[in-house]
Amino acid sequence: MMQQNITVLGSTGSIGVSTLDVIRRHPDRYRAFALCAHTQVDKLFEQCLEFRPAFAVLRDAALAGELAARCRAAGLPTEVRHGVAAQIELSSLPEVDAVMAAIVGAAGLAPTLAAAQAGKRVMLANKEVLVMAGELFMHAVRSHGATLLPVDSEHNAIFQALPGDFARGLNACGVEKILLTASGGPFRNTPLSELGQVTPEQACAHPNWVMGRKISVDSATMMNKGLEVIEARWLFDAAPDMIQVVVHPQSVIHSAVQYVDGSVVAQLGKPDMRTPIAYAMAWPERIAAGVEPLDLFRIARLDFFAPDFERFRCLQLAYDVLREGGTAPAILNAANEVAVAAFLDGKLSFLDIARLNEAVLTALPAGPEGSLDDVLGADAEARQVATTMIAEGRLG
């Protein structure tokens, strides 16, 4: 078996660390060819020491210089580069077999798109790529013969529950609905009157998953699930009305597919991202991921609820922009990234996140998603408007 070279975009984040754990367990199958991070020099250096990648990338030139000096001193063969251009190149080199796209937010769009245009196996953990530029990205996947495998636990579960030929159309395959499960986050039962006083620490304390701060806040507002609805629309060519969010607090059923004959096919497992990562890496095979098997006797019960769209206004906004189309999803995503950062910095309240998102959507009409420049232009304008609204204290 030939070893596969993998570029990990976002190697120091939770998905990147889990990806490297799977690589560690299967050194005969996989090699960490390039590791790309944002600013975590110490963590990236430790990864370079263990995995000895051919390349390592940081966004900042000065930090990259520091890493390069440390790698030379340690006698490592790793070549250190910096910037988005390096991420793009190392996602599309001929030697690269697969790319784990795990950079959070809009920053991951360009290198992930480059991987698709290079015809790579793209393991997609960055949902914002499809939220911002779903039509453009899926066109790149199809026209360049890339293989797209979802890593988000929910979309990976849907992928496993769909028939192998679902690309011919969900209706043709007898699919009636996609059931996208959601934990409901830490505030699913918190009285609405108390949500205004939520702190960043409380919002980042997810009951089931260990995640970064931004995605943890998105889970608390259910914006994360809204982005996943948009992602599912593009991954599976599903109409918005075919995608139903189901609040499932235990996070054991990661998602399901409902068929016209009354069958519901679900994927279950412990809440550990190494399972979908290993599935995407080895597909169509399965390999050990280091995850304990599910013990149904210990779980004992599974609960399901309809989402409260008043409590989770961000989820409703995601459905709204999905139906509107064009650059509306990119505008919402950009506004939300600014809003979450402001909340984490103490500049907005928890409830202000949804208010700011809605205010930016009202202020900026959506345009067509004709090109990457259209998407990036809408993204930049939405960030500017959101930042100005915060500075001026007006959220509507």
Look at residues 235, 215, 231 and name the one whose alpha carbon lies nearest to residue 223: 215
Residue 83 CA to residue 77 CA, distance in Å, equals 20
In this structure, are residues 283 and 22 in contact, taking their beta carbons and an 8 Å threshold?
no
Residue 336, annotated as binding a ligand: no
Residue 225, annotated as binding a ligand: yes
Residue 214, annotated as binding a ligand: no
Residue 285, annotated as binding a ligand: no
Residue 224, annotated as binding a ligand: yes
Residue 11, annotated as binding a ligand: no
Distances from the Cα of 11 to the Cαs of 20, 53, 75, 268, 331, in angstroms?
8, 12, 21, 26, 27
Residue 389 CA to residue 396 CA, distance in Å, equals 8
Residue 108, annotated as binding a ligand: no
Residue 152, annotated as binding a ligand: yes
Look at residues 129, 113, 132 and name the one whose alpha carbon lies nearest to residue 330: 132
Phi then psi for residue 196, to 5 deg, are -65, -20
- Interhelix angle 372-392/109-117, nearest 10 degrees: 170
Strands (DSSP E) contained in the chain are 4-9, 30-36, 55-58, 79-82, 98-101, 121-124, 147-150, 175-182, 243-247, 253-259, 264-268
Residue 43, annotated as binding a ligand: no
Residue 13, annotated as binding a ligand: yes
Residue 194, annotated as binding a ligand: no
**Is cis: bond before 94, omega within 30 of 0?**
no
Residue 7, annotated as binding a ligand: no
185 DSSP assignment? -
If residue 137 lies in a helix (H) or strand (E), which one and from where to where? helix 128-143
Residue 123 CA to residue 100 CA, distance in Å, equals 5
- Known binding positions for NADPH: 12-15, 126, 128, 212
- Known binding positions for Mn(2+): 152, 154, 228
- Known binding positions for 1-deoxy-D-xylulose 5-phosphate: 127, 153-154, 183, 206, 219, 224-225, 228
- Known binding positions: 12-15, 126-128, 152-154, 183, 206, 212, 219, 224-225, 228
